[in-house]
Amino acid sequence: MTTEMLHRIQFGLTISFHFIFPPMSLGVGLVLIIFGVKSVQTKDPKWRQLSMFWVRIYGLIFSIGIATGIVQEFEFGTNWADYSRFVGNIFGSLLAAEGIFAFMLEGGFLGLMLFGGSKLGSKMWLFATTMVVAGATLSATWIVMANSWMQTPQGYEIKDVGYGDQAFMTSFREVVFTPSFGPRILHVIAACWIVGTSLVISVAAYYLLKKRHVELAKTMIRVALPIFTVLAVLQVVLFGANQAIEVTNQQPEKLAAMEGLYKSTTCAPMYIIGWTDPDNETTTGISIPCLLSFLSYQDPQAEVTGLEAFPKDEWANASLVFQVYHLMIDLGMLFIAIGGLACILWIWKRKLWDQRWMLWILVSSIVLTQIATLSGWWTAEFGRQPWVVWQVLKTAGAESPNVTFSQVVFSIGMFVVLYAIVFTMFISLLNRTIQQGPPEPEEEGASESLPDSFGEIFRHRSRVSSGGD
């Protein structure tokens, strides 16, 4: 094994682990905002109860997300020094912008969100929560921007000013709005919301199965299930389809690898499940005729370019990309079925609350949505290989030249052990929080004396501190 491969393994491992957490916090954040709005509108104490319960889970998810996220920001420099030298002018500025605009917003208001629940009125708590979620969404936006530049780079020129080739920015606007950015950010945000709402649904279904906190659990499902179902449909027919068209236009060899298409074909089929063998250039499985042509060009007879049209040393690992891509697609279809079925049972027959088999499926949904987002991300990243910056810089040779094989073995070992411990504890504490359940409802009007505007915060707090409390 080469040191480059070790660097890739480490980066892949750490970023995949990191990527478990931000989608959950983005989606749970959305649900928290809805709870907050309801609390302001109705004054019903159950909304505050739900908010205070989910904010605990949010804090747990968020803290692991931050800790593992710092690793990602440092690893470009530690493991990919030559990549960093090459793209610093462009990629670095997107990360720095993320730091100033997004992380600072999240980090600043997180304390208010997590610790302000018993000290703030509903409106001010909603404001703090909205700021944190806005920060997290902006963060996702800047990161997808940076990654989209690696997929479809533009707005740069390559010059050697004494430290080897470097990409210099010619237009910040073009760097930020690359052709793949729009479709990808919609696809990613929708995926994150699906993951987050599925966590809420999953916990609620568990309570229903155990006959605990039944009314609150029903409320959670009433809020999260419609969002989950609508997004699951939109994700397939709109955001996902749109993303596939973008890949067809911008990265045709990636699309060919995703579908295991070797010869350019009219009426190209799309596989539901299958196996592709790039050595013998064969793909077998169950497929729908002409669907790939239709999805790519909105014309069932259109010709889709196969991998043979490209040099073989520039092919991605088709057997891997094919599998992760189809895993995502199939799970995406499954989510429509799960969401649709649950909605039918709920609305049409009013039977969802005691259909145990359906509730068990809903409990498992969080695992499935996690696998779907991870495999989607893997499709994008494995599909980009052997390039780290699409058709500009190869992954091989972008690693840190001075870091040795044994150093990376050591750090991989360290991350595996550390992340295994962190994950075990995360799951055990998540389970503990879920088992403890939502806090007791506050007495009617208990939160009304809390400061609920900027002016009140100022007056209230200064009274407390001058009164000695």
Partner 1 sequence: MWLNTTWFVLYVVIIAGYVILDGFDLGVGMLSPFLARNDTEKRILLNSIGPVWDGNEVWLVLGGGALFAAFPLVYASLFSGFYTAMMLVLFVLILRTVAIEFRSKREGARWRSMWDWIFFASSFGITLLLGVALGNVIQGVPLDQAGNMDVDLQGLLNPYALAVGATAVAMLSLHGAMFLTQKVEGELLDRITNLIPKLMAVFFALMTVLMVWTLLLEEAITTNYEDRLWIGIFPLFGLLAVLAGWRFVLKKQYLSGFVASACMIALLLATVAAGMYPVLIPSSTNPAYDLTVTNAASASETLTVMLVIAVIGMPFVLMYTAGVYFFFRGKVRLDEESY
Question: C-beta of 16: minimal distance to partner 1 in Å?
Answer: 16
Question: C-beta of 77: minimal distance to partner 1 in Å?
Answer: 3
Q: Which of 6, 31, 57, 60 binds partner 1 (CB under 8 A)?
A: 60
CA separation for the pair 20, 60 (Å, rounded): 13
Cβ density class 402-422: b for 16+ within 10 Å, e for less: ebeeeebeebbeebeeebeee
- Taking the least distance from each CB to partner 1, the nearer of 27 and 116 is 116
Is residue 45 a contact residue for partner 1 (CB under 8 A)? no
Supply angle C-alpha 252, 253, 257, rounded to 5: 120
The strand pair at 303-304 and 156-160 is best described as unpaired
Coil, strand, or helix at residue 275? strand
Is residue 340 a contact residue for partner 1 (CB under 8 A)? no
Q: According to CB under 8 A, which residues from 111 to 150 bind partner 1?
A: 111-112, 114-119, 131
Q: Which of 4, 30, 98, 389 binds partner 1 (CB under 8 A)?
A: 98
Is residue 70 a contact residue for partner 1 (CB under 8 A)? yes
- Taking the least distance from each CB to partner 1, the nearer of 98 and 259 is 98
Q: Which of 104, 158, 333, 367 binds partner 1 (CB under 8 A)?
A: 104
DSSP for 280-305, written as a single string? TTEEEEEEETTHHHHHHHS-TTPEEP
The most distant pair of C-alpha atoms in the chain lies apart, rounded to whole Å, by: 81
Q: Which of 30, 57, 71, 189 binds partner 1 (CB under 8 A)?
A: 71
Distances (CA, A) of 126 to 38, 137, 201, 216, 224: 10, 16, 22, 20, 18
Asked if 251 and 390 count as a contact pair (C-beta separation under 8 A), the reply is yes
Counting DSSP H helices and E strands in the chain, the numbers are: 17, 8
Asked if 441 and 44 count as a contact pair (C-beta separation under 8 A), the reply is no
Q: Which of 109, 271, 322, 382 binds partner 1 (CB under 8 A)?
A: 109
Question: Would you tell me how many other CB atoms lie within 10 Å of the CB of residue 192?
Answer: 26
Each residue 411-430 as x (binds partner 1 by CB under 8 A) or -, in order, gives: x--x---x---x--x---x-
Q: Which of 16, 93, 242, 355 binds partner 1 (CB under 8 A)?
A: 93
- Taking the least distance from each CB to partner 1, the nearer of 10 and 148 is 10
- Taking the least distance from each CB to partner 1, the nearer of 131 and 245 is 131
- Taking the least distance from each CB to partner 1, the nearer of 27 and 117 is 117
Question: Would you tell me how many other CB atoms lie within 10 Å of the CB of residue 188?
Answer: 25
Distances (CA, A) of 382 to 154, 200, 271, 322: 21, 30, 19, 10
Is residue 85 a contact residue for partner 1 (CB under 8 A)? yes
Question: C-beta of 449: minimal distance to partner 1 in Å?
Answer: 15
CA separation for the pair 381, 325 (Å, rounded): 11
Q: Which of 5, 34, 97, 238 binds partner 1 (CB under 8 A)?
A: 97
Question: C-beta of 74: minimal distance to partner 1 in Å?
Answer: 6
Q: Which of 82, 281, 330, 456 binds partner 1 (CB under 8 A)?
A: 82
Which of the stretches 73-81, 301-309, 334-342, 374-382 binds partner 1 when contact is defined by CB under 8 A? 73-81
Asked if 8 and 397 count as a contact pair (C-beta separation under 8 A), the reply is no
- Taking the least distance from each CB to partner 1, the nearer of 17 and 228 is 17
Q: Which of 141, 385, 400, 447 binds partner 1 (CB under 8 A)?
A: 400
Question: C-beta of 328: minimal distance to partner 1 in Å?
Answer: 29
Token duo for residue 74: 């440092």
Is residue 432 a contact residue for partner 1 (CB under 8 A)? yes
Supply angle C-alpha 335, 324, 276, rounded to 5: 125
- Taking the least distance from each CB to partner 1, the nearer of 280 and 465 is 465
Question: C-beta of 192: minimal distance to partner 1 in Å?
Answer: 20
CA separation for the pair 209, 387 (Å, rounded): 48
Q: According to CB under 8 A, which residues from 167 to 196 bind partner 1?
A: 168-170, 172
386 prior amide bond cis, ω within 30: yes
Supply angle C-alpha 255, 196, 422, rounded to 5: 95
Question: C-beta of 92: minimal distance to partner 1 in Å?
Answer: 3
Is residue 69 a contact residue for partner 1 (CB under 8 A)? yes
Distances (CA, A) of 437 to 47, 210, 267: 14, 12, 54
Is residue 67 a contact residue for partner 1 (CB under 8 A)? yes
Which of the stretches 38-46, 286-294, 302-310, 397-405 binds partner 1 when contact is defined by CB under 8 A? 397-405
- Taking the least distance from each CB to partner 1, the nearer of 175 and 247 is 175
